[in-house]
Each structure stands twice: as structure tokens, then as C-alpha cells.
Structure 1
Amino acid sequence: MKGLFNFTEVATYFFRKKDPNRKSNFNLRTMHTINKISILMFLAGAIYFIVTHI
């Protein structure tokens, strides 16, 4: 049960430092932006679902 509520990977995804050695392009930045938006939407929906059913 302890591993089910481990959100460190999600939190570190939002607060990572940019690697200066890695090349950045538009497609990669867009992919990460869409991933961040989808994670936030999922968490908002999960919180809404929990609040409305309690």
C-alpha cells in the first residue's frame, strides 16, 4: 500500500532543472507541456471525483 501513494515522480517531473547538455527542440518541449497538462487534468478530475462522492 505504501507504493500506491508515492507521488515523488510526479512532483519531480514538474520541478526538474533543465539539462544544459541536452538539445531542445519544439517537438520535445511540446510533448512535455502536453504531458504536464494531462497530469494536472487527471489529478483535478480525480480530486473532483473524490470530493463529489464523499
Structure 2
Amino acid sequence: MVFKRILHYLNPLNWFKKETDNPSLRAMHGINKLSLIMFLICIVVIIWRMLNR
């Protein structure tokens, strides 16, 4: 269930849908998506480095 929500959240087709008219809320969601993507990339890099030692 959690992974399904994360995949839905990270789906590029959902990024450009207009959810609300409130620009502050849209900016907050954009920053949250960016931080989640950066976090996942860092986790992949950490795992990659652990496996290559």
C-alpha cells in the first residue's frame, strides 16, 4: 500500500495535473516531490556503495 502511493506520487504523468488552485499548496507539493526524489537517489547511491566494497 505504501509503495503504491509512492509510485503514484512519483509518476511523471501525475506531476503536471492541476490539483488545486492554491499556488502555495502546489509549491509545497512540488518541493515535497523533489525532496522525495533526492532521498530515493541518495538511498540508491548508499546501497550501490555498500555493494561495491
TM-score for both structures, normalised by structure 1 = 0.70
RMSD: 2.0
Identity level (%):
36
Q: In 1, distance between residues paired with 2:49 and 2:39? A: 15
Q: Which has the higher contact order (CA 8 A, sep 6+)?
A: 1
Give 1 or 2 for the bigger CA radius of gyration.
1
- Bigger proportion of residues as helix: 2
1:18 shift after superposition: 4.5
State the aligned residue count: 47
